[in-house]
Amino acid sequence: MIVCQCRVVRDHDITAAMAAGATTLGRVCRETGAGTDCGSCVFGVRARIEDYYSQNVPCPLHAVPDLPDEITPRWIEPEPVLPAAVAVTDYALVPSSEESDAAPQPPRRRVA
């Protein structure tokens, strides 16, 4: 069947271009000449490309000979989170010996 009237490109020409390695619409059009004149056939060419690759895409799982029956996830267990009370007491500020003997000071006020 003729897909491109301007360049007389048939559907088997498009299939042959894809079998030779053309994977994009632009590459198929450059190799066959389809879509290079008026451009009205581009939608038909794209439909042929989508049909071809939807049927002829190899499944990558067929290439893997020995898949395990059960796949176990691999991750590192996170460290346990400390309770808030433990975390605060571990890092509490201890006053120095100079400050502990002195009387507490009232907060300072700003003078405007």
Q: Is residue 103 part of a domain?
A: no
Q: Is residue 23 part of a domain?
A: yes
Give the domain CATH number at 10. 1.10.10.1100
Q: What is the pLDDT at residue 64?
A: 57
The whole domain housing 49 covers 2-59
Residue 6 CB contacts under 8 Å (≥ 6 apart), including other chains? 36, 37, 38, 41
Q: Is residue 91 part of a domain?
A: no
Q: What is the pLDDT at residue 7?
A: 92
pTM: 0.49
Determine the length of the chain: 112
Domain total of the chain = 1
Which range, of 32-36, 47-51, 63-67, averages the lowest pLDDT?
63-67
Q: Is residue 42 part of a domain?
A: yes
Whether 95 shows a pLDDT value over 70: the answer reads no
Whether 89 shows a pLDDT value over 60: the answer reads no
Q: Is residue 111 part of a domain?
A: no
Q: Is residue 41 part of a domain?
A: yes
Per the CB < 8 A criterion, the answer to whether 20 and 31 are in contact is: yes
Q: Is residue 40 part of a domain?
A: yes
Which range, of 7-11, 33-37, 59-63, averages the lowest pLDDT?
59-63
Whether 91 shows a pLDDT value over 60: the answer reads no
Render pLDDT for 56-71 as a digit per residue (tens, 0 to 9): 666 655 555 666 667 6
Q: Is residue 95 part of a domain?
A: no
